[in-house]
Amino acid sequence: MYLTEISPVNLRGTIGSVNQLLVTVAILFSQIIGLPQLLGSEQHWPLIFAFTAVPVLVQACTLPFCVESPKYNLLVREHAEQAEEDLKKLRAKDEVTAEMKMMREEAAAMAAVGKVGIADMFRGIYAWPMFIAIMMMLAQQFSGINVAMFFSTSIFEGAGLGSNAVYATLGMGTCNVAMTVISVYLVDHPKFGRRLLLVIGLAGMLVTSVLLTVSITIYNKDTLNNQWASYPSMVLVFLFVISFATGPGSIPWFFVSELFDSGARGGANSIAACVNWTSNFIVGISWEFLNQSLNQYAFLIFATFLAFFIFFVWVYVPETKGRSIEDIKDEMKRGKSIWARQRQH
């Protein structure tokens, strides 16, 4: 939320995606130090948890030197002079009149609505954007990505990679980082947008999850004669993660902030984060049961979810790239579906 608020409109997606990029780097780092040759042993595994203190301390020491969000200062605290001063620091220039004007227009719109509580997020003008935000978080988690992340080694072992499974997991983490770097560039590219990258990513995950099911089924029918099928399985898991990193990995986290004005943004992000982590928990605890019950067909459940979310994103999710909050809100008022909005345009 903070990154979205301090970013210029044309770089809002790029800067917002940096958060997910650093998450993927941290995941890869944890996978590397978790190798048996490093800290992944019975004696040393507690040291892996100790590493989490490092970024916490760095952030605790550096945050006091970061400027407050100009939008928060102007729209919530009503400190216009401080907001302008902070905005000049962020933009490294003295001319910020146009941006201040946009923020004042947003402040006027907020004043007309009044104070926004958590309950208000589910009624009135905020209900539909909140529903979209929740669906975006559900799409991210019920895509099955954290099954690939949490249980990648066992999935690779089940696909016949044996002792090489742990290194395949490292390869998967590397692909995740590499594609996230590319998505940081693409998310604000003129030829792409939030919706297109989301649909491409979700569609890629749908196709690879179905093909992965086929590949593992072939391998399980005759593990001796169909040993070759283990290698397509590894490639398909890599492609599954790459598809996730294309858009579904990074976009939902900053997209929520793009749907709401500053008065509602904090509450919306809190609800969305709660939905995201609750979904993460549900998928994590249910995977073992699904895997034991359905074996290689368990991924088809996620394929079903993916098909639904592709439809939802394409039909109901508005494009937010390079647009002001007021412009996005006006579009959603014209209609919920892409067809309704086009008729009212």
| Distance of alpha carbon 177 from alpha carbon 8, whole angstroms | 25
Position 224 scores a pLDDT of 59
Position 312 scores a pLDDT of 96
| Distance of alpha carbon 282 from alpha carbon 276, whole angstroms | 10
Candidates 3.30.70.370, 2.40.10.120, 3.40.50.150, 1.20.1250.20; CATH matching 117-344: 1.20.1250.20
Position 94 scores a pLDDT of 86
Structure tokens at 248: 């579904």
Per residue in 165-201, pLDDT tens? 778 888 888 999 999 999 999 998 888 889 999 999 9
Per residue in 303-321, pLDDT tens? 999 999 999 999 999 988 9
| Distance of alpha carbon 98 from alpha carbon 213, whole angstroms | 53
Position 97 scores a pLDDT of 86
pLDDT tens, N- to C-terminus, the chain (345 residues): 888 888 888 888 888 888 889 999 998 998 888 888 888 788 888 888 888 899 899 999 999 998 898 888 887 788 888 988 988 998 888 888 888 888 888 777 777 777 788 888 998 888 999 999 999 999 999 999 988 877 677 767 766 666 777 788 888 889 999 999 999 999 988 888 899 999 999 999 999 999 988 888 887 776 656 667 677 888 888 899 999 999 999 999 999 988 988 788 889 999 999 999 999 999 989 988 888 888 878 889 999 999 999 999 999 999 889 888 888 888 888 877 877 777 665
Place of tokens 């988690």: 141
154, 155, 166: which is closest to 212 by C-alpha? 155
182, 188, 254, 181: which is closest to 10 by C-alpha? 188
Q: How many Cβ atoms are within 10 Å of 182's Cβ, its own excluded?
A: 12
Position 226 scores a pLDDT of 62
Position 229 scores a pLDDT of 66
Cα-atom radius of gyration of the chain, to the nearest Å?
Answer: 22
Predicted structure pTM score: 0.86
